Amino acid sequence: MDLKNAILKKELVFFSNLAKKKDNLEALIRLVKNENLVEDAEALRKSVFSREELMSTGIGLGIAVPHVRIEDVKNIIIAIGINKNSIEDYDSLDGEPVRLVIMIIAGEKQHKDYLMLLSQIVKILKKNSMISKLLEAKRAEEVIGLMSGNFNNNHQ
């Protein structure tokens, strides 16, 4: 799986001060809906919140990676939320508040690509300097450049 095969664009990046997990997830879902990348935004919403009920996607180090597979997705979609403040109620594995949320949405039949992309993104994010750079970004283009550049370097 190559990041260039996924949909990752500036319109799917947002900077916020939203303090609640629910509000952040809703904002990412809205970005995807506004770009007309899913036919059924309500199905996406239900899948995201069902996944969170099953187990929090807060992986630690201030990062959450909500990830779902739904029927009508052709290319994997990545939406990114960067919070100036902490999301205290994310229930992260290490108990730390979340500031960076990267949502991954894949089609039902993209299981292998979805898992590979999820794994690669987590590896990239585990680099402490990468987290800092993303959190310090001021523009969506910077975020896209950081993610794309690191993903490509990780595969060379």
Enumerate the domain spans of the chain.
3-151
67 in catalytic set: yes
Indicate whether 49 pLDDT > 70: yes
The pLDDT of 12-36, averaged and rounded, is 97
1-10, 20-29, 103-112, 144-153: which has the highest mean pLDDT?
Answer: 20-29
CB environment 85-95: b (16+ within 10 A), e (fewer): eebebbebeee
Percentage of residues in the chain having pLDDT higher than 70 = 92
Indicate whether 86 pLDDT > 90: yes
Indicate whether 81 pLDDT > 50: yes
The amino acid that residue 25 corresponds to is L
Burial of 150 by CB count in 10 Å (0-12 exposed, 13-18 middle, 19+ buried)? buried
Domain boundaries 3-151, CATH class: alpha beta
Look at residue 95 in the predicted model and tell me its pLDDT. 95
Cα–Cα nearest to 47, from 64, 29, 68, 28: 68
Do residues 32 and 44 make contact, with C-beta atoms less than 8 angstroms apart? Answer: yes
> Any alpha helices (H) in 12-110, and if so which ranges?
21-34, 41-54
Look at residue 3 in the predicted model and tell me its pLDDT. 64
Give the Cα separation of 69 and 118 in Å (integer). 12
Indicate whether 79 pLDDT > 90: yes
Give the Cα separation of 50 and 140 in Å (integer). 28
Do residues 78 and 102 make contact, with C-beta atoms less than 8 angstroms apart? Answer: yes
With bands split at pLDDT 50, 70 and 90, how would you rate the model's confidence at 153? Answer: low
The pLDDT of 63-87, averaged and rounded, is 94
Active-site position among 1, 13, 63, 67: 67
Number of neighbouring beta carbons within 10 Å of residue 99? 20
With bands split at pLDDT 50, 70 and 90, how would you rate the model's confidence at 155? Answer: very low
Indicate whether 11 pLDDT > 50: yes
Give the Cα separation of 11 and 15 in Å (integer). 11
Indicate whether 128 pLDDT > 70: no
